[in-house]
């Protein structure tokens, strides 16, 4: 991977720290791949700014520890939406 400009790496890191977001959300915001964001934050950032890297690592560790909870919430929301759609279809068919 070609090394990006330091400004880009710092911009991504600042957004990640400020918003305490996930790699996926950060990638979506900047319209670049998750792997690219991950490389910026974990491969190039330690060379540029070790202090920012410590903050990024702490947020990444928190996200990793909460991953199973977020997945459960996402699944719950998905099935809630599916059951609402099914109940609306049933109401339309009975009318």
Residues 16-32 have pLDDT tens digits of: 999 999 899 999 999 99
pLDDT, tens digit (0-9, with 9 covering 90-100), for 46-88: 999 999 999 999 999 988 876 655 666 666 677 777 776 666 6
Q: How far apart are CA 92 and CA 81, in angstroms?
A: 17
Residue 34 lies in a domain: yes
- How many angstroms separate the Cα of 7 from the Cα of each of 4, 76, 90? 8, 39, 55
Q: Do the domain assignments include residue 55? A: yes
pTM, to two decimals: 0.69
* DSSP notation for 15-82: HHHHHT--HHHHHHHHTS-HHHHHHIIIIIHHHH-HHHHHHHHHHHHHHHHHHHHHHHHHHHHHHHHH
**95 in any annotated domain:** no
- For residue 39, pLDDT over 90 is answered with yes
- Do the domain assignments include residue 89? no
In a domain, 23, yes or no: yes
Asked whether residue 35 is domain-assigned, the answer is yes
User: 36 in a domain, yes or no?
Assistant: yes
> Taking all residues of the chain, what is their mean pLDDT, rounded to a whole number?
83
Per the structure, how many domains does the chain have? Answer: 1
Task: Give residue 59's domain range.
Answer: 6-67
Residue 32 DSSP code:
S
């Amino acid at each position: 991977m070609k090394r990006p400009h330091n400004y880009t790496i710092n911009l991504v890191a600042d957004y990640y720290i400020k918003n305490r977001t996930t790699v996926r959300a950060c990638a979506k915001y900047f319209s670049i791949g998750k792997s690219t964001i991950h490389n910026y934050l974990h491969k190039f950032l330690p060379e540029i700014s070790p202090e920012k890297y410590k903050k990024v690592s702490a947020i990444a560790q928190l996200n990793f520890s909460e991953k199973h909870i977020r997945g459960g919430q996402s699944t719950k929301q998905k099935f809630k939406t599916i059951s609402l759609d099914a109940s609306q279809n049933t109401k339309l068919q009975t009318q």
